[in-house]
């Protein structure tokens, strides 16, 4: 790759590395800088964190903690079924706690998951789950033991894998002739437009444009046939791919490519401007939170997200500005947030009207949270697309 750095988010810890006090001194940090690959226009980290440091048997993120995502995967499954035969063979890469799998038949659906705690959970549910990273070798074992797949699905997973060529080549080997590979990941267009720089953290070595994906997929015998822009996780793309020999792209592909050209996703200047906006966002957020705290207000954060790890570490926001973070995930509660060590607590008894301001760490679920917290009389603070009280 021929990468040129455009953004540095400083020293960062493992985004989902929630920890206890005894582990503060041995915490791992790395330098989070992001570049544009001049050859493919891929937005990608300058250096990648070793996958084993992030995805292991203590992985804390559960995809099924929000109704929005449970509904999303149920609707996505309905849509996919319309394009498949009656009893399709389905493989999910990165199945997490089974939030997508649960919509599919156990006899014909298998999964791959490198976080052993979740691989065990979905195996126990009855879905054969291979406990490991998606590699060419594992794909060959899967074909040998289960045959080729009619659908390979991956949500919020492919952008987590440093080596895209190996990943796509292994997928091409595993699909039936007319099979679909469908994957969802955060959209670079949305990240640039909404200034949601917190989509960038260790687990997201790439933020995808359709432009970059087209080149990388095509050199591995795969072609994008359809792109759906979806609202989840602050704006994602659902990308449908087939073997090049059988692919008939629809107009959504060209429409997305044209839009990306118009907004300049192949132009280094777009990324320089983005980096300046990120720096302004940091100044504005620290200023707003400091004013709240200086006025004696109680400020907390809602949702211990990977995204808020980036924000808090980049901006230097610690327990002096945010008293604690509430989160519904049992694995995160009674731990501390990575890097800046803000305590994480259950919402019950901690999110009530004694809170004056709640920073939306999970801003991507703002609507779900506001519906759920309709009795809350305090205010929320967000930094997306601009820092403000909402
Ligand atoms: O790709 C990834 C995305 C999909 O999920 C990952 N690599 C890891 C993770 O990123 P995240 O941590 O930024 O994801 P979420 O889905 O924005 O996390 C939401 C967090 O907020 C969860 O810990 C659950 C919590 N939450 C809560 O406490 N109350 C969420 C809702 C909706 C709530 O009402």
Q: Which of 33, 32, 150, 49 is nearest to 90 (CA)?
A: 150
The predicted pLDDT at position 113 comes to: 98
Angle, alpha carbons 178-73-333 (nearest 5°): 135
pLDDT digits (tens, 9 = 90+) for 42-87: 999 999 999 999 999 999 999 999 999 999 999 999 999 999 999 9
Alpha carbon of 61 to ligand 1 centroid (Å)? 7
State residue 155's pLDDT score.
Answer: 98
Cis peptide before 236 (omega within 30 of 0): no
The architecture of the domain spanning 40-266 is: 3-Layer(aba) Sandwich (3.40)
Q: Domain boundaries in the chain?
A: 3-34+269-389, 40-266
Q: How far apart are CA 132 and CA 93, in angstroms?
A: 10
Q: Does domain 3-34+269-389 have CATH number 3.40.830.10?
A: no
Contact 151, 180 (CB under 8 A): yes
Closest Cα to atom 31 of ligand 1: 66
Distance 165 CA to ligand 1 centre (A): 28
Amino acid 44: pLDDT: 98
Gap between the Cα atoms of 232 and 212, Å rounded: 21
CA of 66 to the centre of ligand 1 (A): 8
Nearest CA to ligand 1 atom 2: 156
Give the residue, out of 65, 73, 335, 349, with the most ligand 1 atoms within 8 A of its beta carbon, to mutate for a pocket test.
Answer: 65
pLDDT for 353: 97
What are the backbone dihedrals phi and psi of residue 120, each rounded to the nearest 5 degrees, phi first? -65, -45
Mutation probe of ligand 1 site: the residue of 303, 309, 361 with most atoms within 8 A of C-beta: 303
What local confidence, expressed as pLDDT, does residue 67 receive?
96
| CA-204 nearest atom, ligand 1 | 7
For residue 87, what pLDDT is reported? 94
The pLDDT of residue 238 is 98
Q: Going from the first residue of the chain to its last (390 residues), give the mean pLDDT of each consecutive group of 10, the final group possibly shorter.
A: 97 98 98 98 98 96 96 98 96 98 98 98 98 98 98 98 98 97 98 98 98 98 98 98 97 98 96 98 98 98 98 98 97 97 97 98 97 97 98
* Rounded distance between C-alpha atoms, residue 319 and residue 322, angstroms: 5
Domains 3-34+269-389 and 40-266 agree in fold: yes
What pTM, to 2 d.p., does this model score?
0.96
The pLDDT score that the predictor gives to residue 138 is 98
Distance 63 CA to ligand 1 centre (A): 7
């Amino acid at each position: 790759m021929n990468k040129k750095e455009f953004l540095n988010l400083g020293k960062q810890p493992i985004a989902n590395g929630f920890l206890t006090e005894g582990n503060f001194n041995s915490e791992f940090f790395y330098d989070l800088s992001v570049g544009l690959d001049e050859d493919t226009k891929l937005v990608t980290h300058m250096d990648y964190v070793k996958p084993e440091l992030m995805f292991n048997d203590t992985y804390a993120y559960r995809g099924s903690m929000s109704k929005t995502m449970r509904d999303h995967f149920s609707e996505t499954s309905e849509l996919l079924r319309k394009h498949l035969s009656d009893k399709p063979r389905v493989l999910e890469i990165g199945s997490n706690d089974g939030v997508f799998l649960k919509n599919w038949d156990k006899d014909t659906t298998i999964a791959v998951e490198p976080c052993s705690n979740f691989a065990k959970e979905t195996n126990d549910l009855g879905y054969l789950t291979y406990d490991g990273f998606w590699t060419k070798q594992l794909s060959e074992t899967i074909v040998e033991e289960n045959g080729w797949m009619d659908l390979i699905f991956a949500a919020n997973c492919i952008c987590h894998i440093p080596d895209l060529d190996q990943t796509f080549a292994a997928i091409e080997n595993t699909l039936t002739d007319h099979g679909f590979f469908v994957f969802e990941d955060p959209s670079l267009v949305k990240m640039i437009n909404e200034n949601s720089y917190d989509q960038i953290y260790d687990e997201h070595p790439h933020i995808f444009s359709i432009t970059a994906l087209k080149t990388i997929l095509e050199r591995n015998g795969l072609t994008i046939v359809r792109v759906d822009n979806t609202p989840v996780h602050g704006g994602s793309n659902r990308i449908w791919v087939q073997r090049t020999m059988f692919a008939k792209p629809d107009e959504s592909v060209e429409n997305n490519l044209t839009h990306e050209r118009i907004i300049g996703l192949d132009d280094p200047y777009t990324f320089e401007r983005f980096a300046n906006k990120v720096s302004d966002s940091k100044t504005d957020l620290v200023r707003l939170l400091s004013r709240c705290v200086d006025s004696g207000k109680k400020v907390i954060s809602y949702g211990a997200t990977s995204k808020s790890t980036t924000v808090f570490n980049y901006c230097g926001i610690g327990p002096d500005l945010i008293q604690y973070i509430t989160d519904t995930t049992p694995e995160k509660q009674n731990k501390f947030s990575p890097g800046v060590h803000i305590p994480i607590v259950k919402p019950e008894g901690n999110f009530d009207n004694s809170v004056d301001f709640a920073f939306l760490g999970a801003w991507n679920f703002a609507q779900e949270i506001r519906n759920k917290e309709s009795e809350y009389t305090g205010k929320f603070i967000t930094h997306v697309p601009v820092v403000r009280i909402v």
